[in-house]
Structure 1
């Protein structure tokens, strides 16, 4: 039995915001999935395993949505995504990765987008007890059309006080 219950998601499409340069959105987006912890306290590795085993994790992030029996996760073959390929990082490092991905100099970020990112990304990063970042996998881990994304950043935020795991993917299409 999975220890996680899917609660819902939020999608931030950078194309929905008015940048000074109309192409600055770079076809980028952030997909945020919230899952409720249903079990007593367990270790982080067990929670990562439960997340990887959850049907919401079976998303190629290329328009097909969640495929409950799907073999892909983002650009990777699902069978090669394990708790061992995640690195524990600080909230500061997570925020740096996102800021650099959105706009390296953080000069052309529309105020409405900045507010949405603060609410949906930066605040949860700061509140998390642990943050895991999916290492960039290579070689056989990349599925047959896995290079459709130029960027694929994945974070798993564990917030035990809120009883929630957040799967945060920042990528492009």
Structure 2
């Protein structure tokens, strides 16, 4: 495990818990992992490398949770993910991507919107740096990675708070 980052907490927003008809949003969710960093000298690429090396990154997001020795991250083979695959993205662009994904046809229920605001959008607003995992292509998808219909991943860096947030929004 990379000791430059310490996992502090996680949050999981399952859209199914907010809607009357689970078919409407039954398999859409957001997972947020908060990690504290203690090494101020790490630049953003160093933080991304530390995150990729952390056991919390070894999550296939398919119900099994974190597997410390696991070979997968989301739909991808872990060995193929590098800091260079994370592109800086503007706050506005990140919000637009997530808003379009949340529900392109109507407004989310009030409770869901409040939780998304607190756990995702407020953190985006406070971030010093925002990075989005690029599309890796079909060759990077692991043996059953196709279960994720949509997979959006952002890393938010809050330097003053010495925190980084791994935000995954997906359908499965």
TM > 0.5: yes
1:15 and 2:16 correspond:
yes
Deviation at 1:36, TM superposition (A): 0.2
Q: Distance in 2 between matches of 1:2 and 1:142?
A: 28
Deviation at 1:2, TM superposition (A): 2.6
Give the structure 1 partner of residue 103 of structure 2. Answer: 103
Deviation at 1:26, TM superposition (A): 4.2
Deviations 1:123-161 (A, max 9, x none): 000100000000111132111111101000000000001
| RMSD of aligned Cα (Å) | 1.2
Give the structure 2 partner of residue 169 of structure 1. Answer: 168
Deviations 1:11-30 (A, max 9, x none): 000000025x6522141000
Secondary structure of 1:161 counterpart: coil
Q: State TM-score, norm by structure 1.
A: 0.95
Secondary structure of 1:24 counterpart: helix
Secondary structure of 1:115 counterpart: helix
Matched ranges for 1:1-173 at <5 A: 1-18=2-19, 22-105=22-105, 107-173=106-172
Q: Distance in 2 between matches of 1:133 and 1:2?
A: 23
Q: State TM-score, norm by structure 2.
A: 0.95
Aligned length: 171
Runs of 4+ with deviation above 3 angstroms: none
Q: Distance in 1 between matches of 2:137 and 2:47?
A: 24
Q: Distance in 2 between matches of 1:22 and 1:66?
A: 26
Q: Distance in 2 between matches of 1:57 and 1:50?
A: 10
Contact residue 2 and residue 53 of structure 1 kept, 8 A: no
Residue segments in structure 2 that go unaligned for 5+ positions in a row: none
